[in-house]
Amino acid sequence: MTGRLETISVTRSYGTRVIVENVTLSLAPGEITALLGGSGAGKSTLLRLLAGLEPVDAGEVRLGSRILSAPGRTLPPEQRRIGLIFQDFALFPHLTAARNVAFGLKHLPRDQAAATVDRWIGLLGLAGRAGAYPHELSGGEQQRVAIARALAPEPAAILMDEPFSGLDPALSGSVREAALAAVRAAGIPALMVTHDPAEALESADQIAILSGGRLLQSGTAENVYLRPASLAAARSLGAVNVFPRASLPASWQAAAPQPGGFVGFRPEGVRLDPASQTRFVVRSRRLMGPLVRLTLDGHGLQLNALAPPSSAPMQGAEVGVSLDPALTFTFASDET
């Protein structure tokens, strides 16, 4: 009924500075897309283009078959039916939780609106807090009110700008699960802007990687993680060791069969393999939480590896090493 929310070759500049360049992205109903990138990558601007808070300079924003934005023509946000959730929640400070949720229900008859508010308040576990003002709510409660407020008017799509980064880290895990379950249940296209690759990988059905205003790659989490289109795309989801193909030991070159001058592999793709004849020395060993990060030296290379604490060798030990082909990629260049 709502259809996909799409950008088609959208570009947005401030003066001569291009913020978003030729981005084509399609958000499917019922799926959460994570828009991943560092600061200044253009994530928030792309979200604002989708929301209608800013006009596009080129390209189109569409919802189903309807054109929302085109150069010189911007349907205002209040007519788009696209919900927004902000990092700081942006609750109306002078309204109670219930009246915040009711804000977007102006078009409904009073009793129907009240019933809708009750349903959302209950759904997000805020039943006892309906009469509280935002400053009387905890961070997690404010977050849930913001989600209820955005979803209550049954929007055609929902956009979330760093929705969990304002929360206590200890809290954000559980809040995120509950929140995203509610978003998924709405069955509409959902976009979540984030700078945290772990959050994107864990929560999203689709990941879109933005860098310098351009879309580097988009696809399912697994696809993007295991088949990065470029070194930059690979790096934005986690650490990568990268070397010229010719500098690798001969036995390893087979692990990267595709042509390409450079080979990259993730630290968790470096296997400690007693059977391997390719030997390295452990230079340093540092516990990183659940895993140990090893720096390995040998064959004129220095690389990072991850291993469980129980099986990680001690500093100074010599170990045989092989590569996991699934976590090894080839790139045409080592520029990011």
Assess 81 for contact with other proteins (CB under 8 A).
Answer: yes
Sheet order of strands, 241-244 included: 241-244, 262-265, 328-331
Q: Which residues pair with 63 in a beta bridge?
A: 5, 66
Assess 166 for contact with other proteins (CB under 8 A).
Answer: yes
Cα–Cα dist 329/130, whole Å? 52
Assess 63 for contact with other proteins (CB under 8 A).
Answer: no
Q: Please report the DSSP string for 89-122 in residue order.
A: ----TTS-HHHHHHGGGTTS-HHHHHHHHHHHHH
Assess 195 for contact with other proteins (CB under 8 A).
Answer: no
Least Å from the CB of residue 105 to other proteins: 9
Q: Which C-beta is closer to other proteins: that of 87 or that of 220?
A: 87
Q: Which C-beta is closer to other proteins: that of 78 or that of 335?
A: 78
H-helix segments, the chain:
43-51, 97-102, 110-123, 139-151, 169-185, 197-203, 221-226, 231-237, 250-253
Among 19, 32, 36, 51, binds other proteins (CB under 8 A): 51
Please report, to the nearest 10 degrees, the dihedral formed by the alpha carbons of residues 192, 195, 201, 204 taken in order: 0
Total of chain residues touching other proteins, rule CB under 8 A = 37
**Segment interacting with other proteins, rule: CB under 8 A, options 100-108, 233-241, 258-266, 316-324:** 100-108
Assess 89 for contact with other proteins (CB under 8 A).
Answer: yes
Assess 82 for contact with other proteins (CB under 8 A).
Answer: yes
Among 1, 94, 246, 275, binds other proteins (CB under 8 A): 94
Cα–Cα dist 99/106, whole Å? 11
Assess 142 for contact with other proteins (CB under 8 A).
Answer: yes
Q: Which of 79, 49, 76 minimizes the C-alpha distance to 61?
A: 49
Q: Which residues bind other proteins (CB under 8 A)?
A: 51, 53-54, 76-84, 86-95, 103-104, 106-107, 133-136, 142, 146, 149-150, 153, 155, 166
